[in-house]
Amino acid sequence: MKNLLYPELIGEMAKHGDTQRSLAKLLGLSHLTVCRRFAGKSEWTINEIDFLCNRYQRNYYELFKKNIKNN
């Protein structure tokens, strides 16, 4: 089973009813771009991080702590 890179961010999204597709619209990005961010294939920008921290009322360390366990 593949580990999620951003479990806290995904949890906050679920609490607020957000999906990757809806998040893409809010950020003004394509769905593919957001998918790449979640897969770790591209980096989040400072503006995107700021938006997400404000939206979910969490700080960077809470939302973007990566799950780095490898099974």
| pLDDT tens readout for residues 22-49 | 999 999 999 999 999 999 899 999 999 9
Indicate if the pLDDT at residue 9 is higher than 80: yes
CA distance 62 to 6: 10
| Amino acid 3: pLDDT | 58
| Residue 71 included in any domain | no
pTM equals 0.83
3-state secondary structure of 33: helix
CATH of the domain at 38: 1.10.260
- The reply to whether 45 falls in a domain is yes
Residue 19 lies in a domain: yes
Q: What's the domain range around 35?
A: 7-58
Q: How many domains does the chain have?
A: 1
pLDDT at 50 over 70: yes
